[in-house]
Amino acid sequence: MTARINMYFLIIENSRYLCAVRKSTEEKTDIRKLTEEQLTEEFISRGEKKFRAKQVMEWLWEKSSHEFDVMSNLSLETRQWLKDNYAINPVELEDIQKSSDGTIKAAFKLHDGHFVEGVLIPTKTRMTACISSQVGCSLSCKFCATGYMKIQRNLDPAEIYDQVVHIRNLAQEVYDKPLSNIVFMGMGEPLLNYKNVLQSIEYITAERGLGMSPKRITVSTAGIAKMIRKLADDGLKTKLALSLHAANDAKRDKIMSINETNNLEVLKDALQYFSQATKSRITLEYIVFDNFNDGLEDAKDLARFASSFPSKVNIIEYNPISEADFTNTSEDKLDVFADYLEKKGIVVKIRRSRGKDIDAACGQLANKK
């Protein structure tokens, strides 16, 4: 009996110790939240050479390290100081699902227990990562599974960056091909997490980061006009896509509440401003819903809107979700719709659904396993 009681108290003490360690770790600053300038100041304040900060940043953003112990060009004493004072909160690859068409959906666990999803979309010519910018979404678009989730929080730059690293590794491991493109089309509205999204792009594109070309990155927005203008003023070098889905205010109001405060006229002005400032063409994403936005009048509305600035149109198949009763348009209607746009001189591409069987297709991400 005494031995059993002693064992019980040992378990309690171990549990308390683990909780204390966990609390201590959680109280430490995530070193990836520091800029190189801030980290340089930290090293100088403890009497070390300022180039140590550059070495640490290379380990974090170029080599994607999640452990201080592997930073072999730092002394053991310096590594111990880093471990004692800072944390690295990695995004963990919790689960993957592979579709019959080769698409891979990844569930990512964040350090605070929240989950987000990302997708690897393979084609003959591209390996594209679709990544998330928020846990949940606040925009409540009626056709999108993420829109039915509550918004929890923004992702920080490192959490966005880690998604890219994981999906890049999957592309290499599963298909033996490098990641070629990134789209911010996963969970959340990127322009409502503006600062963190742009900072993540810096780390992804930097020479001492992942070194990807900004021209191979697309930021997709549901349409926040003032932030589109800010992107232009800040000199965004990535591509921009607008989730349009209706070029008629009355119809867009029904499926996208953001249109009530950012109507089509306001959006058109912002997109014209962006295009003129960046000299770039904007992609208009348009899901075709049966008997809602797939008629000839809808095509005419879209043609007028698309002709207001340099653009191209991606027509997207609708992917069903349990929360909504929309259905995809017929092939005949789709052909007539696309043909009208092409005759008006608009560049049109029909994007076929990928990963529908694992809830990985456009509009289906909702942390379902």
Place of tokens 């304040």: 45
Beta strands in the chain (DSSP E): 29-30, 86-87, 92-98, 104-109, 115-122, 127-130, 134-135, 153-154, 181-184, 217-221, 239-243, 282-288, 311-317, 347-351
Name every residue whose Cβ is closer than 8 Å to that of residue 277 and which is 6 or more positions away in sequence. Answer: 232, 233
Name every residue whose Cβ is closer than 8 Å to that of residue 91 and which is 6 or more positions away in sequence. Answer: 108, 109, 110, 111, 158, 159, 162, 163, 166
How far apart CA 349 and CA 346 sit, in angstroms, is: 10
Rounded (to 5) percent helix, strand, coil in the chain: 45, 20, 35
Q: Is 117 a catalytic residue?
A: yes
How far apart CA 107 and CA 95 sit, in angstroms, is: 5
Question: From the candidates 117, 159, 189, 285, which is the catalytic residue?
Answer: 117
Question: From the candidates 137, 141, 144, 362, which is the catalytic residue?
Answer: 362
How far apart CA 296 and CA 129 sit, in angstroms, is: 34
How far apart CA 264 and CA 258 sit, in angstroms, is: 11
How far apart CA 289 and CA 283 sit, in angstroms, is: 19
Q: Active-site positions?
A: 117, 362
